[in-house]
């Protein structure tokens, strides 16, 4: 997500350098493993980044217009093209169709999924783990919510309203940092600053 933020908020020339850097990193990983990462794996991540970029912004701030969604799609389309990916949808409308097909045909819950959530629970503790699931219930596609049994946001909705009000008052930094483990605070501050 760090690179996604850098690409979205950078001028075109600088964003292209980040895309080249991402491509180089992945080629190095492929060489060290002696195997090529398939296009579909890259597309899965790309599609996920498009969805979460839009969904998370809309949860925190406001609904995006069709043109704004198209702009988000275009950023990641350029990332995909820069990485040499094939069979990418050409616009936001096409992406919606392909993404929905992917959600229903190629997404499943497995032992790896449950293992990942066990690690979340272990490292976040019970309160933050519950908060994670509530946040995810707001931003994942409906089908994924059902698959993962995330439930409904519940108490998170009034907390979101409180956060939005704290932004208005300029106290949102305290609100966010009170929820974060210490090791992530500097990183989140950096993201918040670039989005301001």
pLDDT single digits (tens) 20-60: 666 667 667 667 777 777 778 888 888 988 999 899 889 88
- pLDDT recorded at residue 157: 81
pTM over 0.75: no
Q: Which of 40-44, 63-67, 124-128 has the highest mean pLDDT?
A: 63-67
Same domain, 102 and 7: yes
Query: Which domain, by its residues, includes 149?
Result: 111-195
Q: How far apart are CA 43 and CA 28, in angstroms?
A: 19
Same domain, 86 and 27: yes
Q: Which of 195, 83, 103, 196 is CA-nearest to residue 145?
A: 103
The yes-or-no verdict on residue 179 having pLDDT over 70 is: no
Same domain, 58 and 146: no
Last residue of a domain, one of 82, 106, 130: 106
Same domain, 90 and 121: no
Same domain, 14 and 87: yes
């Amino acid at each position: 997500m760090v690179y996604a933020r850098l690409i979205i908020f950078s001028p075109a020339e600088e964003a292209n350098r980040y895309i080249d850097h991402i491509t180089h990193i992945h080629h190095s990983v492929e060489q060290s493993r002696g195997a090529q990462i398939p296009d579909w794996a890259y597309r899965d991540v790309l599609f996920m980044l498009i969805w979460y970029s839009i969904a998370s912004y809309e949860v925190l701030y406001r609904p995006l217009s069709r043109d704004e969604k198209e702009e988000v799609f275009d950023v990641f389309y350029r990332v995909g093209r820069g990485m040499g990916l094939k069979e990418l949808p050409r616009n936001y409308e096409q992406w919606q169709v392909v993404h929905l097909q992917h959600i229903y045909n190629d997404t499943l819950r497995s032992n790896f999924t449950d293992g990942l959530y066990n690690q979340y629970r272990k490292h976040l503790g019970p309160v933050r783990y519950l908060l994670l699931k509530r946040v995810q219930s707001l931003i994942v596609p409906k089908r994924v919510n059902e698959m993962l049994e995330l439930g409904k946001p519940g108490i998170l909705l009034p907390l979101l309203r409180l956060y939005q009000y704290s932004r208005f008052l300029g106290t949102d930094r305290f609100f966010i940092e009170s929820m974060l483990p210490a090791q992530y605070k500097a990183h989140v501050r950096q993201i918040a600053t670039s989005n301001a």
